[in-house]
Amino acid sequence: MNKVLQTFGLTTRDALDEANGMNVGRVVIVHGERAEVIWLSDEGEEVLSQCEFEANLNLVPVAGDWVGVRGERIARVLPRRSELRRPHPNGRDVQILAANVDLVLIVVPTNLELNSRMLERLTIMARDSGARPLVVVTKIDAVDDPRIFRDEIAREVPNVEVVMTSSRTDEGIDVLRDLLIQGVTAVMLGASGAGKTSLLNALEGSDELTLSVGKSGEGRHATTTRKLYRLSSGGVLLDIPGIRLLDVMVDQESLDKMFADIEELATHCRFRNCRHRGDEGCAIELAVETGQLTLQRLNVWREMQTEVVNNERLHDPVVAATHRKQRNSSPKRIRDK
């Protein structure tokens, strides 16, 4: 495997066969009908250039895509192993935000109120793509007891790893470095002011992230672009701008993993097709009444369940017919309580 391409994030899971002798590169960021690409020349040197799209390009590229470059034009988008996606703002299509991502760093600071809805949705987005979600809490030196913040996150997104960090004291930074090793492509998501830039600088021990890598692949792997950071720990970090909307594209499997606690409660409902909206014997609503489950978490789950059904109905008329039948049927008793 080429050492320079490895510094771009290439792994054995990435398929380059369809490059067919073209120069191979990785998309950093897309600007309309052209993209910033870092690619490997015939001489084995890395090249960074603005590449236009060939007329018969098979797919619209996104950040993280591996592409075939011909004459400084993107001629082929190579097969993706993962897609970070959400519904398109037009309400009809799917928008791919990034490709070939392994780790999604959801950055939340202690000095801002926790946005539980965003946290849950970004976690679902990560899981839906096949990537691993990781919540990174920043600025823990700014509060007296950061464990309170960590416990609140654990309640909102159970079974998701949380790393507590401080860019001032370097606490937790080594933990992140150990995760961002060669072969791992990560993306960092979070609101403005969350401390993403400070976190990146702490990871590299510097604010000068502009060094390049030679054709041997040796040397310090810092960024050569504004949006693709090759870290000294070996991993690659993509900076994807503009993820502001909370809409996500998610399937039922990802949703079930995210809300495993609610799915478990649903097995104890009195009726098999309980709608969890005022039905007699609903175990989920009982959990809210007793304080076992927060109403906010239940409402997010309800909202996401509706989105899953709408997405499935949009693409499968059979699912739409089944949903109408279930909606019109009466609840079936499982057992008396």
All domains in the chain, ordered by first residue: 3-77 (2.40.50), 83-238 (3.40.50.300), 259-328 (1.10.40.50)
3-state SS assignment for residue 4: helix
- Are 140 and 166 in contact by the 8 Å Cβ rule? The answer is yes
Question: Could you give the CA distance from residue 187 to residue 75 in angstroms, rounded to a whole number?
Answer: 25
Q: Is 26 exposed, middle or buried (0-12, 13-18, 19+ CB in 10 A)?
A: buried
Contact 85, 249 (CB under 8 A): yes
Question: Letter for the amino acid at 125?
Answer: M
Going along the chain, which residue ranges are E strands? 23-31, 34-40, 46-53, 66-70, 73-77, 83-87, 94-99, 103-109, 132-138, 161-164, 185-189, 228-230, 236-238
Kind and range of the H or E element at 72?
none
Name the pTM for this structure.
0.73
Mind giving me the DSSP string for 313-330? HHH-HHHHHHHHHHHHSP
Helix/strand/coil for 165? coil
Give the helix ranges, DSSP H, for 189-238: 196-204
DSSP 8-state symbol, 79: P
* pLDDT score of 103: 96
Please report, as a single letter, which amino acid is at residue 140.
I
Task: Report the length, in residues, of the chain.
Answer: 337
Residue written as tokens 């492509």?
185
> CA-CA distance, 239 to 229, in Å (whole number)?
8
d(C-alpha 227, C-alpha 104), whole Å: 15
Rg from Cα positions in the chain: 23
Dump the DSSP string for 272-299.
TT--SSS-TT-HHHHHHHTTSS-HHHHH
Asked if residue 79 lies in contact with residue 18, where contact means CB atoms within 8 angstroms, the answer is: yes
pLDDT of residue 61: 95
Q: Give residue 183's pLDDT.
A: 92
Cα-Cα-Cα-Cα torsion 317, 323, 324, 330, nearest 10 degrees, comes to 160
Q: 93-115 as b/e, with b when 16 or more CB fall inside 10 Å?
A: eeebbbbbbbbbbbbbbbeeeee
- pLDDT tens for residues 69-83? 999 999 999 999 998
Rounded CA-CA distance 123/119 in Å is 6
Write the CB contacts of 291 (distance below 8 Å, at least 6 apart in sequence): none
Strand partners, 49: 37
Residue type at 172 in one-letter notation: G
Determine the distance from the C-alpha atom of residue 294 to the mean position of all C-alpha atoms in its chain, rounded to a whole number. 25
* Spans of the chain, pLDDT less than 50: 208-226, 245, 319, 330, 332-337
